Amino acid sequence: MSSHDHLASSRAERLKRAAGISSNRLVATEHAVQLLEAVIEPGDRVCIEGNNQKQADFLARCIAQTDPSRVRGLHLVQSVLALPEHIDLIERGQVERIDFSFSGPQAGRLARLVENKKITIGAIHTYLELFARYFVDLTPRIALIAAQAADREGNLYTGPNTEDTPAIVEATAFKGGIVIAQVNEIVDRLPRVDIPADWVNFFIKAPTPHYIEPLFTRDPALISEIQVLMGMIAIKGLYAEYGIKRLNHGIGFDTAAIELLLPTYAAELGLRGKICTHWALNPHPTLIPAIESGFVKSVHCFGSEVGMERYTSARPDIFFVGADGSMRSNRAFSQAAGHYACDLFIGSTLQIDLDGNSSTATLDRIAGFGGAPNMGADARGRRHASPAWLRAGREAQHGAGMPRGKKLVVQIVETFREHMQPTFVERLDAWELSRTANMELPPVMIYGDDLTHVITEEGIANLLLCRSPDEREQAIRGVAGYTPVGMARDARMVENLRDRGIIRRAEDLGIRKRDATRDLLAARSIKDLVRISGGLYDPPAQFRNW
């Protein structure tokens, strides 16, 4: 007779083994390693929570101290491999396979492990794609998560940094898995319940609060005049033209410049209320001036940002805030919002090829994607219209065929990066990386057929209006400046594209370059942001220089 409750009985077995360590759900900090050894079985799929923001760092340290003869053959299924302990666990031989999204600071170590065949990469996903697989074929058996606080029963409060937790816990708890939470504190009464206690098997007070990276803080002092110029081009030549109201921004200085130009340059152009009203965006400190000047109506966040807690709490009309008064973020929902409900994605990249494919991969690093490709891709399942979406669709279809809209996907880059590295290249490094790392696909961040516009200091190339692959290539070369790709342009064809408005230079848009100064930024320092927030923004120490 076949059994239908293998997962449930396996969970019961594991919980029985842990019974000696904890009689209720609370586990003493010093017994954390022992608990992991009791409940983890060889070959388990394990998720150690973490993304580009918060990290279950204590549990990561604990799993990297478990006995490799007991805890082995693991399949890691998690957003990031960002902590040294994640890689330590692989180096200790306890992991066979990894499926992930992003490896940021550990990208170099990971590349060497792959090269030495110490680990197999299943695939590098986008965040939403990995969450989706949690509910299909990569459901975790063990989830090690991070929360701000637990009550005595094990209900969890995640505070503003809820992030990936609901997606991970839901998949694990309802498919026979075991959820273990590290918490910063244990309290009698939580401000609100983000994860109910009966989805949580164990909770442990971590010796130190979980780590959160302030990844979205861009110091306005470091924004260059070139970035101001490109921001002016984006606002006047793109946001105003299409009437972009719903959007997502990348995390670079180029888009931070746009945020800081909204209350000044965009307001002078009469665009308040006409552009940039609804966002899927982390609480970027550089958005504070636009919020305070009434430009922004709504922001849903993937996660929070260190220092923005009091500010977001005090702006419940803008942010999603609980009855307790603190913000709630949710990465899966915000990714879906960015994909389906936004008309525009704009971000930066390291390399763009002649087809418009872009990548942040370089030869000795396997960095992965994170969330950008979910936003930077046309939402083929979208069925609701908006003026911006319809106009992009008309431009793409040349007025023929079934009417359909298109997401605006924009790369904003300087033609040269640091050390005179050209951003525009004949061939992406991603090809070589896919060969050396034995990957099935070159790691492309944004595919060329999703890309609609390229903005550089040389102007805008509107790829939607190109009528042949040749025109598309020349449109890209035409804004590639003095890079080898740009110098090899067909000058006559580029002039023709300019006459047709496919390439538009600053002067074609009526933008005077002498106006492109830092004086145009609504804030020119972190201190300005604090002042404009009315003292509600509390920047982390590394951004305080006064």
Q: Is 482 in the site for other proteins (CB under 8 A)?
A: yes
Among the residue ranges 84-92, 140-148, 219-227, 284-292, the one whose residues contact other proteins (CB under 8 A): 219-227
Whole-number Å distance between alpha carbons of 295 and 273: 6
CA 344 to chain centre: 15
Length of the chain: 546
* Phi, psi (degrees; rounded to nearest 5) at 295: -75, -35
* Phi, psi (degrees; rounded to nearest 5) at 352: -130, 135
227-266 residues in contact with other proteins (CB under 8 A) are: 229
Token digits for 77? 């299924």
Q: CA angle 352-356-401, nearest 5°?
A: 165
| Three-state secondary structure call for residue 355 | coil
Are 225 and 257 in contact, with CB atoms under 8 Å apart?
no
Are 86 and 111 in contact, with CB atoms under 8 Å apart?
no
Among the residue ranges 37-45, 61-69, 183-191, 222-230, the one whose residues contact other proteins (CB under 8 A): 222-230
Nearest to other proteins of 13, 507 (CB atom): 507
CA atoms within 13 A on the CB side of 392: 26
Q: CA angle 33-35-41, nearest 5°?
A: 100
Whole-number Å distance between alpha carbons of 123 and 477: 32
Single-letter code of the amino acid located at 453: H
CA 350 to chain centre: 16
Q: Is 148 in the site for other proteins (CB under 8 A)?
A: no
486-505 residues in contact with other proteins (CB under 8 A) are: 487
Nearest to other proteins of 121, 410 (CB atom): 410
Which of 15, 21, 186, 226 is the binder for other proteins (CB under 8 A)? Answer: 226
Which of 323, 420, 441, 541 is the binder for other proteins (CB under 8 A)? Answer: 420
73-102 residues in contact with other proteins (CB under 8 A) are: none
Q: Is 415 in the site for other proteins (CB under 8 A)?
A: yes
Which of 457, 466, 503, 521 is the binder for other proteins (CB under 8 A)? Answer: 457
Q: Is 7 in the site for other proteins (CB under 8 A)?
A: no
Residue 490 beta carbon to other proteins: minimum distance, rounded to whole angstroms:
16
Nearest to other proteins of 59, 506 (CB atom): 506
Token digits for 534? 């009315």
Residue 464 beta carbon to other proteins: minimum distance, rounded to whole angstroms:
25
CA 15 to chain centre: 35
Q: What stretches of 470-519 adopt beta strand conformation (E)? A: 503-504
Q: Is 16 in the site for other proteins (CB under 8 A)?
A: no
Measuring CA to CA, which residue among 189, 186, 182 is closest to residue 204?
Answer: 182
Task: Please report, to the nearest 10 degrees, the dihedral formed by the alpha carbons of residues 187, 190, 194, 200 taken in order.
Answer: 40
Residue 546 beta carbon to other proteins: minimum distance, rounded to whole angstroms:
21
Measuring CA to CA, which residue among 391, 361, 514 is closest to residue 453?
Answer: 391
Give how many residues touch other proteins by CB under 8 A.
17
Q: CA angle 196-336-386, nearest 5°?
A: 135
Q: Is 224 in the site for other proteins (CB under 8 A)?
A: yes
Nearest to other proteins of 161, 415 (CB atom): 415
Residue 475 beta carbon to other proteins: minimum distance, rounded to whole angstroms:
18
Q: Is 514 in the site for other proteins (CB under 8 A)?
A: yes
Whole-number Å distance between alpha carbons of 144 and 60: 8
Residue 457 beta carbon to other proteins: minimum distance, rounded to whole angstroms:
4
Burial class (CB in 10 A: 0-12, 13-18, 19+), 312: buried
Residue 514 beta carbon to other proteins: minimum distance, rounded to whole angstroms:
4
Q: Is 219 in the site for other proteins (CB under 8 A)?
A: no
Residue 481 beta carbon to other proteins: minimum distance, rounded to whole angstroms:
6
Which of 180, 276, 308, 516 is the binder for other proteins (CB under 8 A)? Answer: 516
Token digits for 474? 């020349």
Nearest to other proteins of 170, 414 (CB atom): 414
Among the residue ranges 218-226, 369-377, 382-390, 440-448, the one whose residues contact other proteins (CB under 8 A): 218-226
Nearest to other proteins of 343, 457 (CB atom): 457
Whole-number Å distance between alpha carbons of 540 and 112: 33
Nearest to other proteins of 8, 487 (CB atom): 487
Contacts of 473 (CB under 8 A, 6+ apart): 354, 355
Which of 112, 513, 531, 544 is the binder for other proteins (CB under 8 A)? Answer: 513
CA 476 to chain centre: 26
Nearest to other proteins of 4, 419 (CB atom): 419
Among the residue ranges 82-90, 135-143, 289-297, 411-419, the one whose residues contact other proteins (CB under 8 A): 411-419
Residue 224 beta carbon to other proteins: minimum distance, rounded to whole angstroms:
8
Among the residue ranges 5-13, 24-32, 106-114, 413-421, the one whose residues contact other proteins (CB under 8 A): 413-421
Nearest to other proteins of 224, 293 (CB atom): 224
- The binding site for other proteins (CB under 8 A) comprises 224-226, 229, 414-416, 420, 456-457, 481-482, 487, 512-514, 516
